[in-house]
């Protein structure tokens, strides 16, 4: 088929493909945000400028650290990248998050924003080291499993060992998967992660809370995720993370600027085709 193209159109096809790949790889996928605690700037004249300085300092950390916390200037903050994302993706995600959170929660004392690849939060109240399971965001696939009225044994079998083991690891992040078997059970993939400001026992109880919530809301569904400030849990019948020990491809040269429309279309296409429904607390 390529033989039918002249070298110039082949080259432009190649560039288009590379552009598509690099833009979908590096563009973070926004999920949701919550703002709370109205902040009266007249009482705290420096709040806006302190916050914006803090956020740009967080953004500058993200190329080297997948987690960072800060408590300067009377504002407590942290960000966390998903355990499998590259430094480059982490940086891109946090950079976008610091801008979006300012746009969405301009004059609020507390805010949190989630992406597929990272999360960022800040507050005038000290939350560092405190396990928080709300506000929480619950997203589930609208499609039912083959036996929606029974416990989802496939999900439980995959997630429970992770909840028991992962809190005691350094990164507090882990994934597992199981291949489809002849009895008709599907491929399954699960991911758990805690924010590394909390300790192992808090991490474990945070994950147990979310797992209970998942059993209440989502046992009939083929895929779901629950995102809380201190931990998160996700289960799907397709691979949605980078498998461990697979080297993350590093682009040799910066690719062309991503074309905004294309990556947005891709994002929406994924969301619509999976038919997500979102439940808020």
Ligand X SMILES: *[C@@H]1O[C@H](CO)[C@@H](O)[C@H](O)[C@H]1NC(C)=O
Question: Contact positions toward ligand X, by CB under 6 A?
Answer: 27-28, 30, 35-40, 42-44, 46-47, 50, 64-66, 73-74, 87, 96, 99-100, 107-108, 129-130, 144, 148-149, 175, 177, 199, 201-202, 220, 239, 243
Which residues make beta-bridge pairs with 112? 34, 121
From the CB of 4, what's the least distance to ligand X, in Å?
A: 35
From the CB of 105, what's the least distance to ligand X, in Å?
A: 6
68, 72, 115, 160 from 263: Cα distances, Å: 28, 36, 15, 35
From the CB of 13, what's the least distance to ligand X, in Å?
A: 25
Rounded Cα distance between 176 and 190, Å, is 5
Contacts of 269 (CB under 8 A, 6+ apart): none
For ligand X, the closer of residues 12 and 277 by Cβ is: 277
* 163 sits in which H/E element: helix 153-165
From the CB of 11, what's the least distance to ligand X, in Å?
A: 28
Q: Return the residue nearest ligand X (CB atom).
A: 74
For ligand X, the closer of residues 175 and 232 by Cβ is: 175
For ligand X, the closer of residues 39 and 69 by Cβ is: 39
Label residue 232 left, alpha or beta by phi (over 0 means left) and psi (-120 to 50 means alpha). beta
The phi, psi pair for 13, rounded to 5°, reads -65, -45
For ligand X, the closer of residues 149 and 183 by Cβ is: 149
From the CB of 230, what's the least distance to ligand X, in Å?
A: 10
Say if residue 201 is exposed, middle or buried (CB neighbours under 10 Å; 0-12, 13-18, 19+).
exposed
Rounded Cα distance between 116 and 222, Å, is 18
For residue 175, what are its two tokens?
């994934």
Rounded Cα distance between 43 and 53, Å, is 19
Kindly write down the DSSP assignment for every residue of 15-44, as one continuous string: HHHHHHHHHHHHS--EEEEEEEEE--TTTS
For ligand X, the closer of residues 14 and 99 by Cβ is: 99
For ligand X, the closer of residues 50 and 185 by Cβ is: 50
From the CB of 245, what's the least distance to ligand X, in Å?
A: 7
From the CB of 99, what's the least distance to ligand X, in Å?
A: 3
Rounded Cα distance between 206 and 163, Å, is 9
From the CB of 222, what's the least distance to ligand X, in Å?
A: 10
**Per-residue DSSP letter, 256:** P
For ligand X, the closer of residues 9 and 125 by Cβ is: 125
For ligand X, the closer of residues 230 and 232 by Cβ is: 230
Residues across the chain:
281
Which one, of 188, 187, 209, 190, lies nearest residue 198 by Cα? Answer: 209
């Amino acid at each position: 088929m390529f033989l039918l193209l002249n070298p110039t159109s082949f080259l432009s096809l190649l560039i288009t493909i590379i552009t598509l790949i690099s833009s979908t790889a590096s563009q973070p996928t926004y999920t949701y945000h919550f703002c709370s605690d109205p902040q009266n700037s007249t009482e705290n004249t420096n709040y806006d400028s302190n916050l914006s300085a803090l956020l740009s300092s967080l953004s500058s950390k993200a190329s080297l650290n997948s987690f960072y916390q800060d408590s300067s200037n009377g504002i407590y903050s942290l960000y966390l990248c998903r355990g499998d994302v590259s430094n480059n993706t982490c940086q891109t995600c946090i950079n976008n998050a610091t801008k979006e959170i300012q746009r969405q929660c301009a004059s609020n004392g507390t805010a949190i924003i989630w992406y597929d690849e990272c999360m960022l939060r800040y507050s005038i109240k000290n939350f560092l080291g405190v396990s928080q399971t709300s506000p929480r965001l619950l997203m589930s696939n609208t499609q039912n499993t083959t036996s929606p009225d029974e416990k989802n044994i496939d999900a439980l079998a995959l997630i429970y060992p992770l909840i028991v083991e992962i809190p005691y690891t350094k990164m507090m992040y882990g994934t597992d998967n199981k291949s489809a078997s002849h009895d008709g059970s599907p491929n399954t993939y699960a991911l758990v992660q805690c924010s590394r400001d909390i300790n192992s026992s808090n991490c474990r109880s945070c994950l147990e809370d979310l797992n209970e919530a998942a059993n209440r809301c989502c046992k009939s569904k083929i895929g779901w995720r629950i995102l809380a400030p201190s931990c998160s849990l996700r289960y799907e019948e397709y691979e949605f993370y980078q498998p461990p020990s697979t080297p993350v491809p590093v682009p040799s040269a910066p690719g062309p600027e991503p074309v905004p429309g294309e990556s947005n279309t891709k994002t929406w296409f994924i969301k619509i085709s999976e038919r997500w429904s979102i439940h808020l607390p």
